[in-house]
Copies of this chain bind each other. A is one copy, B any other.
Amino acid sequence: MRERALIADLLAPLATHRAARGLTDDAAVWLPPLGREVVLTHDVIACGTHYLPDDPPSDVAWKLLAVNLSDLAAMGAEPVGVLLGLTLGGHEDDDWLRGFVAGLGRALTHFEVALLGGDTVRWGGAAVLGCTAVGQVPHGCALGRDGVRVGDAVWVSGTIGDAGRGLAVARGEAPHDKRLLDRYRRPNPRLALGRALVGTATACMDVSDGVLIDAQRLAAASGVGIELDLAALPVTGDCDEAERLIRATAGDDYELLFTAAPDAELAALATAKVPLTRIGRVVAEPGLTVLGAHGLITPARLGWEH
């Protein structure tokens, strides 16, 4: 399928938002509601690096949107739309494209975001899929990483480490488990939680490279330290300290890691599907400290360094 057909026949029917102008103009034009700031993020997923060539194309579309919307969630923003940069190789044949676009349509509907525009390129290399997510937030209300205060409690949403186990399943290194595979291939950006945290969280980010390394970054952005209780980490099932460390450094969780005043009442923000767990505290001494059952732990690695 040529680029023009891909856009006209498959993508344009999804671009129903007025701002997209049917994908026929050189750019999208969107009027933000009064008093809102525009929130903008761009993440790339490359075939073989961020997803596997055999991942179902509909899941690849989901993941492309989800990892970008997760950044909006971390800022407390409401998503509006996406622009896609699809650089496609020989592996992405017409069947793959139809699967991708079908999954894209379902993801756009699920997340209530508009397809606003983008670009498609055919080349000889592997696929590189870029997404710009556009969101909005009431003026002055965006969450950031630099508001952490000494004495704050450190919280995380959901469970940590399941996506990493899903990657092992996808690679054939662990027995098939649909739920874990889905955690890796179809992450759930915590959009409702992010918006609910505005006014309560002092700082927030999403967990993509491992909760340990990301906690270290959150602390560094605010010039403080974070102490994490490894035993408090929300994990699926029972696991010992060694396994907890593996999960805490596995990445791809797309949960929210955030800080709040120690007396902040967060129970009301949790749901059955998205529990919130207090996993540590903020201290003055910069750096990350991991506490195990028998005292301080020095992990060999904290997560994915790029």
Contacts and interface: CB of A to CB of B under 8 A. Distances in A.
Interface of A: 2-4, 21, 24-32, 34, 37-44, 46, 48-50, 70-72, 74-75, 77, 83-85, 87, 116-126, 128, 130, 132-135, 137, 139, 142, 144-146, 205-206, 221, 305-306
B24 A128 contact: no
Contact of A121 (B49, B77, B121): B49
Contacts of A137: 29
Nearest to A6: B306
Nearest to A221: B24
Given A85-B85, A145-B25, A125 B125 contact: yes
A40 B27 contact: yes
Contact of A28 (B2, B40, B117): B40
A26 B139 CA distance: 17
A39 B39 CA distance: 14
Contact of A87 (B28, B46, B118, B122): B46
Contacts of A26: 41, 70-72, 74-75, 145, 205-206
Among A40, A75, A133, which residue has the most Cβ atoms of chain B within 10 A? A40
Contacts of A75: 25-27, 29
Given A30-B38, A41-B26, A121-B49, A132 B74 contact: no
A278 B83 CA distance: 34
A116 B71 CA distance: 14
Contact of A40 (B2, B83, B125, B146): B83
A87 to B, nearest CB: 5
B30 A40 contact: yes
Contacts of A83: 40-42, 132
Given A25-B74, A31-B38, A46-B123, 18 more contacts: A26-B72, A27-B72, A28-B39, A28-B41, A29-B39, A29-B142, A32-B32, A34-B34, A41-B117, A42-B84, A42-B118, A44-B119, A44-B130, A46-B87, A49-B123, A85-B85, A119-B130, A125-B126
Contact of A42 (B24, B50, B119, B122): B119
Contacts of A144: 21, 25
Contacts of A116: 40
19 contacts: A25-B74, A25-B146, A25-B205, A26-B41, A26-B206, A27-B75, A27-B135, A30-B40, A40-B117, A40-B132, A40-B134, A42-B84, A42-B119, A48-B124, A50-B121, A87-B128, A120-B306, A123-B126, A128-B128
A39 B24 contact: no
Contact of A132 (B42, B71, B123): B42
Contacts of A142: 27, 29
